[in-house]
């Protein structure tokens, strides 16, 4: 089966969550895509999980892995892009369960001149513990549940409003206009392949957690693209996990991003070009 879309899923030492994400990909209303698991050096063997979803459910999956040398999300994402075949690239995190129309909505919205940005509700530890492969394959995590709503009020589930699927009707148009935040978040976004090539992919000078997502958005805008909201259309549910250290190198990365915005830089120096085949001109 030919595919026009590549879904790149990042993961690191979370095989149980990866299993759930792949289960949600099985349930997609649009199954014309390939999956690239971008593995930032997991010590656990994800191969058995991936092989099962290929053999039992027919997903097309490639596994791109490199050695664990700290948080190198930008590097593994570029390696995954280099291995991908789609003209449309959708990015999702390996701790986010995808709504069944997630792929369909990104594909519909991603057109020339834009890149797509979404948001996600963040489920609490209590709600996350109830999510299972069997439940997903029976259709759970497709809508807000009473338990999620109650936990957003009395527990620690956050940003629950982003779990409301509105499709492409008038309510979506109104809600999208009211949503002013256009920062790119790497766990729910999509970019045309040609535009990723134009900006040289993710900036590998951004090592460590934080700012690498929004920095890509700055360069895409410097290229002349407009961010397009897919909030309330392309939905995923973020599962709870302990927070990463967000402070190491934060000020340096913020300063780098600000300079890129000031100078209108489009293509980063060290990016996707590190992993693509070298073309020798005649």
What is the pLDDT tens value at each position of the chain, 282 positions in all? 678 999 999 999 999 999 999 999 999 999 999 999 999 999 888 999 999 999 999 999 999 999 888 888 999 999 999 999 999 999 999 999 999 999 999 999 999 999 999 999 999 999 999 999 999 999 888 889 999 999 999 999 999 999 989 876 655 555 555 556 688 988 999 999 999 999 999 999 888 777 788 899 999 999 999 999 999 999 999 999 887 665 666 778 788 888 888 899 999 999 999 998 754 333
What is the model's pTM?
A: 0.92
pLDDT of the residue at 176: 57
CA distance 224 to 52: 42
Other Cβ atoms less than 10 A from the Cβ of 30: the count is: 15
CA distance 109 to 5: 13
**Residue 17 burial (CB < 10 Å; 0-12/13-18/19+)?**
buried
* Separation in Å, CA 116 to CA 31, 65, 193, 199, 235: 19, 26, 13, 16, 12
- For the chain, helix (H) and strand (E) counts, in that order, are 11, 9
Q: Answer yes or no: are the C-beta atoms of 188 and 228 closer than 8 Å.
A: no
What is the H or E stretch that residue 227 is in? strand 226-229
pLDDT of the residue at 191: 98
What is the H or E stretch that residue 197 is in? helix 193-199
pLDDT of the residue at 177: 57
CA distance 35 to 212: 22
pLDDT of the residue at 140: 86
CA distance 239 to 97: 8
Specify the DSSP class assigned to residue 242: P
Q: Answer yes or no: are the C-beta atoms of 213 and 185 closer than 8 Å.
A: yes
Q: Answer yes or no: are the C-beta atoms of 234 and 102 closer than 8 Å.
A: yes
* Separation in Å, CA 168 to CA 26, 173, 229, 239: 23, 7, 11, 26
Positive or negative: CA dihedral 160, 73, 32, 58: negative
Nearest in space to 39 (alpha carbons), one of 60, 82, 8, 16: 8
Q: Answer yes or no: are the C-beta atoms of 262 and 256 closer than 8 Å.
A: no
> What is the side-by-side order of every strand in the sheet holding 5-11?
61-65, 34-39, 5-11, 88-93, 188-192, 114-117, 226-229
């Amino acid at each position: 089966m030919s595919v026009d879309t590549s879904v790149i899923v990042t993961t690191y030492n979370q095989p149980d969550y990866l299993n759930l994400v792949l289960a949600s990909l099985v349930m997609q209303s649009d199954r014309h895509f390939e999956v690239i698991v971008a593995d930032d050096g997991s010590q656990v063997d994800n191969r058995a999980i991936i092989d099962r979803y290929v053999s039992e459910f027919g997903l097309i999956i490639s596994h791109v892995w490199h050695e664990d040398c700290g948080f190198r999300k930008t590097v593994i994402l570029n390696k995954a892009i280099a291995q991908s075949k789609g003209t449309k690239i959708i990015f999702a995190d390996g701790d986010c369960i995808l709504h069944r129309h997630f792929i369909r909505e990104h594909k519909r919205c991603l057109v020339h001149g834009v890149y797509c940005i979404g948001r996600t509700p963040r489920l609490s530890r209590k709600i996350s513990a109830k999510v299972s492969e069997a439940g997903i394959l029976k259709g759970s995590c497709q809508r807000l549940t009473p338990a999620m709503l109650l936990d957003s009020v009395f527990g620690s589930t956050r940003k629950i409003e982003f779990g409301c699927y509105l499709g492409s009707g008038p309510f979506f148009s109104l809600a999208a206009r009211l949503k002013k935040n256009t920062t790119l978040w790497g766990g729910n976004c999509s970019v045309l392949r040609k535009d990723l090539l134009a900006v040289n992919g993710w900036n590998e000078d951004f090592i460590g957690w934080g700012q690498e997502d929004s920095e890509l958005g700055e360069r895409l805008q410097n290229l002349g693209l407009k961010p397009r909201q897919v909030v309330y259309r392309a939905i995923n549910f973020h599962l709870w996990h302990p927070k990463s250290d967000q402070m190491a190198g934060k000020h340096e990365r913020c300063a780098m991003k600000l300079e890129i915005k000031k100078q209108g830089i489009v293509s980063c120096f060290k990016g996707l070009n590190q992993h693509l085949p070298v073309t020798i001109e005649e």
